[in-house]
Chains A and B, each alone.
Chain A
Amino acid sequence: MSLVIDSVRKRFSAYPALEGVSFTAPQGAFVALLGPSGSGKTTLLRILGGLEFPDDGSIRFADVNWLAVPTRERRAGFVFQHYALFRHMSVAQNIAFGLSIRPRRERPSRTEIERRVAELLALVRLDGLGRRYPSQLSGGQRQRVALARALAIEPRVLLLDEPFGALDAKVRKELRGWLRALHGRLGITSIFVTHDQDEAFALADLVAVMNKGRIEQYGSPAEVRNSPATPFVRDFLGMNASELPNPGIRPAQVRLDTVRNRNSSKEFGS
């Protein structure tokens, strides 16, 4: 049941995002995609989650052609960097979403869904907050709701995009240890994207260091740290997180809006 990624390529109109990426994530492993912004790590994660399609290459999961599985049937638990919680739904409704939309014969009963939601709320340590709305939660709490929502569908793989990127340092450290323990308990193959080497080394079983759409080195944290395979890896590890180019903005998120009209949305009571 390992995830085998072979020669995956992806080009966006302006620039190549992935130039032939290959690696294998063994069953149950916690893999970090580590690299500076623009190195293609989020693109790779989105391809695994079915949110982008590669131009070339293959991905096999448990010997199934993963790319032939439609996004909605992949059961890939995707945790977005900015959580993407459904803002008009309560926390409980958010978590229940993946179960409640199933066709009638596969859908658990109402009480069963409630039980599962309560279980997941306890798992992410948000007991009693099921009736709140996302806007009433702190960043760390939203993050855990997003995780619980992804776990509700009993995902085959867990994909986390900068899981702690939007949190402050203290919460980040706390959640890090907690996530590591949770991963150990659930045993789901998990892949997460980060630009922070401390985070990658602290959490992951295997680290893939990425640069300009390629994997520079793939190995255990100790291997990567002790014997950098390329000059890039050595340089990258030599830098402190604070010296890295600002990781908060990535090309895919930059939009030049000509249609945006603040007034008209404000008129409607913002």
Chain B
Amino acid sequence: MRARRPTEDHPATRALFVGATMALIIASLVMPLAMVFAQALAQGVAVALRSVESRDALAAIRLTLVTAAIAVPLNMLFGIAASWAITKHDFRGKSVLLSLIDLPFSVSPVIAGLLYVLIFGMQGWLGPWLRDHDIKIIFALPGIVLATIFVTFPFVARELIPLMVDQGRQEEEAAISLGASGWQTFLRVTLPNIRWGLLYGVLLCNARAMGEFGAVSVVSGHIRGLTNTMPLAVEALYNDYEFVGAFAVAALLALLAIVTLGAKALLEWHYAGELAAAHRH
């Protein structure tokens, strides 16, 4: 038997901790996920597929994808701009901006949704003006996108800020002293240095954007086939005792999340060498 290193814990201790963690993960993550798929396929693949192909379900899928397609790129741009401003420049109110970025993490999504209703809703501040100009925000796509943006606000910036703080400003200074413009410096030095963190942040942001329930629920109005996103459709179907349909849409939503995670893992694995090189510097 191999001798135990002095810093190593007793094998029983190790087994206990690993076992407890695994048990927790299986009980709280793997089993429910498996249940979702099992329930979705309880009456066969054909039934599950048919319920996903229903008009309302398809509309919900489309709405979710459109919302993510608008919210994620916007938050990516915002995240890059904010972390660039915070890490490469000094200005007044920097710490305030930092706390504001974190706000969506600490505020309940439902409150965020309500705030938008108070501002843009019929009885809200801008309600009469919006009505006069025939602009619909609440109970329509713009409101859903706004709520999603609010909730997924911090993901990209939070991923990039520590990375960019770590990297400092020297490479940018070098680029400028070598004759690069600000834009060239950003495209050829800053962006390549943060690309992995950026990708990771965008994937997380996307997963959350597709899965958000609370804030979207408040502003959407739950109009079937019109303003129900996938998570809202799941709830609606479930409340109607359409369990197969609910679980089928839920399974599809889970599948999207799994694909996102899979893409991240694949990229990490594929570019492991480059990642390590970038971090070793």
Contacts and interface: CB of A to CB of B under 8 A. Distances in A.
B95 interface: yes
B174 A86 contact: yes
Given A86-B189, A260-B162, A268-B196, A135 B179 contact: no
Contacts of A76: 177
A225 to B, nearest CB: 33
A78 B180 CA distance: 13
Contact of A72 (B87, B165, B177, B200): B177
Given A80-B170, A80-B174, A264-B159, A102 B277 contact: no
A101 B179 contact: yes
B188 interface: yes
Contact of A51 (B166, B171, B173, B276): B173
Interface in B184-206: 184, 188-189, 192-193, 196-197, 200
Task: Tell me whether chain A's interface is mostly helix, strand or loop, or mixed.
Answer: loop
A153 to B, nearest CB: 6
B170 A269 contact: no
Contacts, number: 112
B178 A265 contact: no
Given A51-B177, A264-B162, A101 B184 contact: yes
A14 interface: no
A78 B175 CA distance: 10
Contact of A265 (B177, B179, B197, B268): B197
Given A260-B162, A269-B275, A87 B281 contact: yes
Contacts of A75: 179
B122 interface: no
A265 B198 CA distance: 11
A73 B177 CA distance: 8
Among A82, A134, A260, A269, residue most surrounded by chain B Cβ atoms (within 10 Å)? A269
A78 B174 CA distance: 7
A88 B278 contact: yes
Nearest to A152: B178
Nearest to B83: A259
Interface residues of A, number: 43
Given A101-B179, A135-B280, A261 B197 contact: no
A50 interface: yes
A153 B179 contact: yes
B21 interface: no
B86 interface: yes
B180 A72 contact: yes
A133 B162 contact: no
Interface string B244-279: 000000000000000000000000100010011111
Contacts of B180: 72, 97-98, 101
A149 interface: yes
Contacts of A269: 196, 268, 272, 275-276, 279
Nearest to B159: A264
Contact of A268 (B173, B189, B197): B197
The 8 nearest A-B residue pairs measured at CB:
A84-B170, A98-B178, A84-B174, A78-B177, A270-B279, A87-B281, A88-B192, A261-B162
Interface of A: 49-51, 71-78, 80, 82, 84-88, 97-98, 101-102, 133-136, 149-150, 152-153, 255, 257-262, 264-265, 267-270
